[in-house]
Amino acid sequence: MSSAKPSDVKQTASLAIDAAGLRFQNPVLLASGTAGYGRELAGVMDLDRLGGLVTKAVSVEPRNGNPAPRVAEFPGGMLNAIGLANPGLDAVRRDALPWLAGHLHEARVLVNVVGNTTDDFVAVVSGLAEVPGFSAYELNVSCPNVKCGGMEFGADRGILGELVAAVRRATKKPIFVKLSPTLTDIGETANAAVGAGADGITVVNTIPGLIIDTETRTPALGFGTGGVSGAAILPIGVLATYRVAKAVSVPIIGVGGVARPDDVVQYLLAGASLVAVGTAALKDPRVPERLVRGLAEWCDRHGVGSLTDIIGGVRA
């Protein structure tokens, strides 16, 4: 018989989350565009300790992306204009997803999908139908760093609904729709996506921004403008999550400015079921695993037995 007293036994909270019919061992994901296709980060972090990852964008054809420089830092975070560079559907189907299927056993994989037309989105989803290694899709309808597609889909609820409905007909896997924080009524847009068949919403994508090199008097990025990410957009992402949670009842992936366990908790309290980290993980690949440990410690300090108990629990 153990001699330990009840007070000596540490109570460990359950970090598991059920979302869109999927079980995640914890809510911490790697955000799209920052995790590659998993293989790129396998040597610097234990991906299987996380709830999952969202892959880099996948388009029908390969994309070279925007001209360099593509990234610029500023005190509040980072500005990037990668331009959805990716190897295309065939390469992801042949190499990236099979690798993930063979190396991840606990972490869930969501595939981020982009396109210039609705048919492009459907073609990617249909093309991955029989490929193992992932559990759901994230539709990127809100990227600010390309000259066509992207933002237009999310800004028009009618077009967005048609796109989501078309993808819904092409797959039985869960669909998350990633929305921009610049939408005039993000709750109504989320509602339109859910009405058309979305199983979840991701908020937020980056916010358009500009950094000027004062020595050359030219934009710091080769594309000119870019998307703002990092600590500066944490309150924006939390507010968007709160508003979307008030408008729809589907799971939400909160993303933007996450670097500390308290940031994750903010998103959960605002209504997110899952929380993705990006810029902070680029700067320090140890951050995601620290977030998982920190969440467990936060729960123990606050007497929380399960993270599901605090989702949407903000006292507003």
Give, for all 316 residues of the chain, the pLDDT tens digit: 444 443 343 548 899 999 999 999 999 999 998 889 999 898 899 999 999 999 999 999 999 999 999 999 999 999 999 999 999 999 999 999 999 999 999 999 999 999 989 999 999 999 999 999 999 999 999 765 555 444 567 788 999 999 999 999 999 999 999 999 999 999 999 999 999 999 999 999 999 999 999 999 999 999 999 999 999 999 999 999 999 999 999 999 999 999 999 999 999 999 999 999 999 999 999 999 999 999 999 999 999 999 999 999 999 7
19, two tokens? 């979302």
Q: Greatest CA span in the chain, whole angstroms?
A: 74
Cβ(240)–Cβ(181) under 8 Å? yes
Question: If you search the block for the tokens 């980056």, which residue do you land on?
Answer: 206
Cβ(219)–Cβ(247) under 8 Å? no
Annotated catalytic, 143?
yes
* Residue 133: DSSP 8-state: S
Buried b (16+ CB within 10 A) or exposed e, 119-156: ebbbbbbebbeebebbbbbbbbbbbbbbeebbbebbbe
Question: If you search the block for the tokens 């969440």, which residue do you land on?
Answer: 295
The catalytic position among 31, 47, 143, 295 is: 143
CATH number for domain 6-66+82-213+230-310, candidates 3.50.30.10, 3.30.360.10, 3.20.20.70, 3.90.1200.10 = 3.20.20.70
Give the C-alpha separation, 28 to 46, whole Å.
13
